[in-house]
Amino acid sequence: MPSGLLIDLDGTVLPENNRPTKRVIDAIAEASRLIPVAIASGRVQDDVCHFARLFGLTVPQISDNGATLIDPVTGRALKRYILDRETAELVVSDLKKSSYKVLACDAGRFVEDPDQIEDWKITIVMAKFDSEVEARGWIARFPADKVSSYATVDNLGHWYVDCTPLGVNKGTGARNFAKEVGVDVSKLMVIGDGWNDMPMFDVAGTRIAMEGAPQEMLEMATEVVPGIDHDGAVLAIEKYVLNLSE
């Protein structure tokens, strides 16, 4: 059995209607009674805390693509990585010109209009693009020594670029989570379906990829499970954590 479990949200356990199936909720809740379980998502802190409560999770959770480790009970950030202001302003300015919607998390506050950023304590900047090609085009063009950036797709099929402080990603979140709950990061099990989950695959010992994930993830995976429409994440939890599979 793994020592801990990290689960991506969009495309892994969260369908288009933002309502995980009862089977998913029950499996995650049952797993959390055996080992520490956390969400590891590019979503902002409020979203992650909401779904953590839905799943009955109380240990630290990972939001902002690894830039924030948060207590889901109190909503208090346990660890937070901040973009320096000069870089944050550069990223926001460039994305405002290149994309058609820019969002940010500023001092833990979700900001839907970048002109309303007040504190400039930015953990993540998210920009919505018309296509994967455009999102990846921005990443290829923007200086790679400024931020960590990933092209991500939400549960509605919308493409985003997520920008966090340089070197900060879900692998960072996984290491911080493991340290906080007192387990070896290499003993973690992770479940994901997108490019921003790759850093978790780099550090975890048991790597579960959803069917349809990027080829690099499929090649790294301990096991590939059916897609979200078939509750593939549940099958992995039942096999590796709950020991229900033959």
Residue 147 confidence (pLDDT): 94
Query: Quick one: tokens of 219?
Result: 């090649």
- State mean pLDDT over 111-125: 95
For the chain, the 3-state helix, strand and coil shares in percent, each to the nearest 5, are 40, 25, 35
Average pLDDT, the chain: 95
- State mean pLDDT over 140-156: 90
- State mean pLDDT over 15-19: 91
Would the pTM count as exceeding 0.85? yes
Question: 3-state class of 163 per DSSP?
Answer: strand
246 confidence band (pLDDT: 50, 70, 90): low
**CA-CA distance, 80 to 244, in Å (whole number)?**
37
**CA-CA distance, 216 to 207, in Å (whole number)?**
12
- State mean pLDDT over 90-114: 94
| Phi-psi group of 160: left, alpha or beta (phi > 0 → left; psi -120 to 50 → alpha; rest → beta) | beta
100 confidence band (pLDDT: 50, 70, 90): confident
Antiparallel, parallel or unpaired: β 223-225 and 206-210? parallel
Residue 114 scores a pLDDT above 80:
yes
- State mean pLDDT over 115-126: 96
Percentage of residues in the chain with pLDDT exceeding 70? 99
- How many of the other CB atoms lie within 10 Å of CB of 148? 22
Question: 3-state class of 30 per DSSP?
Answer: helix
What radius of gyration do the chain's Cα atoms show?
17
153 confidence band (pLDDT: 50, 70, 90): confident
- Could you report the per-residue pLDDT of 45-74, keeping only the tens digit for each? 999 999 999 999 999 999 999 999 999 999
Selected residue with higher pLDDT from 88 and 246 = 88
